[in-house]
Amino acid sequence: MKQKIINIIGILFLAAGIGSLFYPEIISYLKQKQSDQIIKELTHAGNRNKLDDSLYQKAVYYNRKIFQEKQTGLKDVFSYRSAPIILRNEKNTFGYVKIPKIKQKLPLYLGATMKNMKKGAAIMGQTSLPLGQKDSNCVIAAHRGYQGIPYFRDIEQLKTGDRVIIKNPWETLTYKVTKIKVIDPYDMDKILIQKGKDMATLLTCHPYRGHGRYRYIVYCMRDHGQKIRKQKEEIQIHSSSRKEIEEEKWIRYAGIGLLIMTGGVWISRRKKRNLR
């Protein structure tokens, strides 16, 4: 009886160890399923008609207003946490963003609050809504990974010419990466609207384990079939996080393998002792 209890405790410890190492993968899978369900509902809802849609008119007015005011309201953390407009019957999302290169598809929430950033990507307050119009720059922020969920963790894989797709309530817009920068958190002028351009900008923390020391910025222009000139990388002075991210993955997998091997050896020895 005592031997059985020891065996059960050993198996439970082994399972707990493997479970803890697999935890990020499990959470990531569950969160992705939740996001996929939200996106599925948005897709099935279909495109709305711009002409008689009060939400569209409100969004257009907002974009024009912040452009004419030169985004003077974008000055501190409270400004980009505020929602650009208030949603009433849209289930709190303004569509979704899809980044094929890093295999991410995330719901778009309004206002970069902690609550919204836990659920997906967020359009920063005092930046443009993605309507596919000139004189706009929609800045989309997401965590560099959160509780095992990737979000924008692998953003460094993006290169000039890669696609970023945004689905708003009325249409699907395609953008292409044009430039990548690393900036200080308070360099607000680096994410402002550029006159005459239809832009989307991805923003996340850098480096991966740097506690938000810098911001990794991916500038994108609306894709009209034009060729995108490759820009010389400007992030060489900052350390890349790719190696660190890969090491984290391999350490976790090595830990799982080691636990399984240890458990196998332990079980084998227990069986041999029982046969004596």
| Cβ-based neighbours of 220, under 8 Å, separated by 6 or more | 164, 175, 176, 177, 178, 199, 200, 201, 202
Tell me phi and psi for residue 127, to 5 degrees. Answer: -120, 165
- Rounded to an integer, what distance in angstroms lies between the CA atom of residue 145 and that of residue 153? 5
Determine the pLDDT at residue 222: 96
Beta bridge partners of 97: 106, 166
Low-confidence ranges of the chain (pLDDT < 50): 236-237
Determine the pLDDT at residue 237: 44
pLDDT tens digit sequence for 135-155: 999 999 999 877 667 899 999
Determine the pLDDT at residue 62: 96
| Cβ-based neighbours of 227, under 8 Å, separated by 6 or more | none
- Rounded to an integer, what distance in angstroms lies between the CA atom of residue 106 and that of residue 122? 9
- Rounded to an integer, what distance in angstroms lies between the CA atom of residue 80 and that of residue 230? 30
Full residue range of the structural domain in which residue 97 is found: 2-275
- Whichever domain contains 174, its CATH number is 2.40.260.10
Contact in structure between 192 and 239 (CB atoms under 8 Å): no
- Rounded to an integer, what distance in angstroms lies between the CA atom of residue 140 and that of residue 195? 19
Determine the pLDDT at residue 80: 84
Determine the pLDDT at residue 141: 95
Q: How many structural domains is the chain composed of? A: 1
